[in-house]
Structure 1
């Protein structure tokens, strides 16, 4: 039986942020200052500028009491179909965030990234041991004192064997707004649940992967809300690693938890709420609001056979919020 617990701790601040954004330092359209200004204007409190294969630390330039920039990098590994490195021969890839970790992680790290330091992508031709490659990339980021997140697995064309067994990551993208609108391959929870079923403690992350492109909308469509003691890198990353956050493309989650064998959630008005459960077949359940009505509080009686539970709250426009899993 899953024990009584609260998913979003009370008495902390709630801070909205985007963990995946690009600027002119890599392949974004706007300068870092313009990206930061845009997110601040739209009510965000934190942002990770996650440039491709380049670590940036712009905290001293942009941090203040109302907004912080998380130092980070989007690191890469590529499998090419042949000996070329032509982009059309890219068959699979791992894109993984390294977000500078807690104060303790940074102090204990045997090495640190420098601002604007490049981390060369790992490159393979013809075949690879995808899981070993992912672990190697994870280990290098962790060695530099970073918390690690796995990005857009569906867009990356990875196979289950490339990721199942990958622990040591705090989150995996289940909603990537850029690739949702670019090609319809940015939203999927399958790999998340496959990891959870194997006992890997990992959260689901919604993000923009914003480049501020003009061909389609790729900004302000996916975010996380963390419950942190303060608006600092240490507190925000600590909350992310503890799973004390929810992800959303629209709805808000006020609270959720397990109390006396009942999973409950309080949310902004939604059309349906689904409990996703690990364990035997048929453990998932959905509550749908009667026509013309909405849901703001939903409860599910647990059977006692669940190995984990998480919630998806979907509003009338199809936008969803995802909680982290409880065990």
Structure 2
């Protein structure tokens, strides 16, 4: 059993799904964002400015910034409704239509008359977007919060801006609890770049598709045909009998994770093919893989459902 990211036709394309420009609270123009990501070797970018009234509900038209070998996905960071802690929800929506109807979200505060997060996520997904729960640790999300947003395709397992800005980058604990409940979610790493601090080029997705086009990339994202990384490459993840076989760029650790307390790591030096035993995973309906290189950078597979 191999993950679809490694069996789907096509090749891997590198992209960032969470970026802010001068259309909301970012430092750089959309044009300069696209130039920099293209110069850094990215194949695609989503500029996802804050979808709020104070910024005139922007869905930035980045289509003119597309070029040979580089494309863009339209999107926004949606905000509507209060989390359990009283703060405003943050949801990433990539692949939104340019005429997506605004919510009643004038600013960064939660207001009683707003749509709930579940409602705006459902609207975005119905409009064709790939929807992700953004930075759970930074937001202070509870499991009950996340349970309500059933239209989400993914959870941010790593947010580089939150790592560099406040040391709250993690979404793994929340994602794993949702997986334990049977939610078929994928895991994305993002920058959440504003360029006001070193919050860029630190987390990305590698999407397997036959073409570097918005349509092909968006379809692959929804299928889960990708992995996420801070640097290491995943080349194959296969469950074979009582072990998972991981092929990757040189790493020092390869770890299989599953339901509840299920986890097993193999450690070494310059490992490019690792067999992780799964004798404690009999009761786990899913598993995913993390690898760590000598610099401490990680890559994450999407879950395999057994």
Give the TM-score normalised by structure 1. Answer: 0.83
Aligned residues of 1:22 and 1:211 also touching (Cα < 8 A): yes
Q: Which stretches in structure 1 are left out of the alignment for 5+ residues?
A: 82-89, 102-111
Query: How far off is 1:124 after superposition?
Result: 4.2
Per the alignment, residue 41 of structure 1 pairs with 39
Per the alignment, residue 294 of structure 1 pairs with 270
Query: How far off is 1:167 after superposition?
Result: 2.5
Cα distance between partner residues in 2 of 1:299 and 1:7: 19
Q: 3-state SS of the aligned residue for 1:271?
A: strand
Cα distance between partner residues in 2 of 1:38 and 1:93: 30
Per the alignment, residue 239 of structure 1 pairs with 220
Cα distance between partner residues in 1 of 2:215 and 2:83: 37
Aligned residues of 1:165 and 1:200 also touching (Cα < 8 A): no
Moved more, 47-56 or 67-76: 47-56
Q: 1:124 to 1:245 in 2, by over 3 A?
A: same
What is the CA RMSD across the aligned residues, in angstroms? Answer: 2.5
Aligned residues of 2:88 and 2:110 also touching (Cα < 8 A): no
Aligned residues of 1:45 and 1:66 also touching (Cα < 8 A): yes
Cα distance between partner residues in 2 of 1:260 and 1:190: 27
Per the alignment, residue 320 of structure 1 pairs with 298
Q: 1:157 to 1:93 in 2, by over 3 A?
A: farther
Aligned residues of 1:273 and 1:288 also touching (Cα < 8 A): yes
Aligned residues of 1:269 and 1:295 also touching (Cα < 8 A): yes
Q: Which stretches in structure 2 are left out of the alignment for 5+ residues?
A: 52-56
Query: How far off is 1:170 after superposition?
Result: 1.7
Cα distance between partner residues in 2 of 1:79 and 1:66: 40
Q: 1:316 to 1:145 in 2, by over 3 A?
A: same
Cα distance between partner residues in 1 of 2:273 and 2:46: 32
Matched, 1:70 2:76: no
Cα distance between partner residues in 1 of 2:95 and 2:235: 28
Moved more, 47-56 or 202-211: 47-56
Of residues 91, 94, 115 in structure 2, which corresponds to 1:96? 91
Equivalent runs, 1:191-270 vs 2, <5 Å:
191-213=174-196, 216-270=197-251
Per the alignment, residue 176 of structure 1 pairs with 159
How many equivalent pairs are there? Answer: 296
Aligned residues of 1:206 and 1:223 also touching (Cα < 8 A): yes
Q: 1:207 to 1:80 in 2, by over 3 A?
A: closer
Matched, 1:139 2:134: no
1:3-32 deviations in Å (ceiling 9; x for gaps): 565542254121000000011011110111
Aligned residues of 2:159 and 2:169 also touching (Cα < 8 A): yes
Query: How far off is 1:80 after superposition?
Result: 9.0
Of residues 247, 251, 262 in structure 2, which corresponds to 1:283? 262
Query: How far off is 1:174 after superposition?
Result: 1.2
Cα distance between partner residues in 2 of 1:181 and 1:46: 23
Q: 3-state SS of the aligned residue for 2:276?
A: strand
Matched, 1:306 2:304: no
Q: 3-state SS of the aligned residue for 1:294?
A: strand
Query: How far off is 1:63 after superposition?
Result: 1.7
Cα distance between partner residues in 2 of 1:5 and 1:222: 21
1:79-110 deviations in Å (ceiling 9; x for gaps): 399xxxxxxxx842321122226xxxxxxxxx
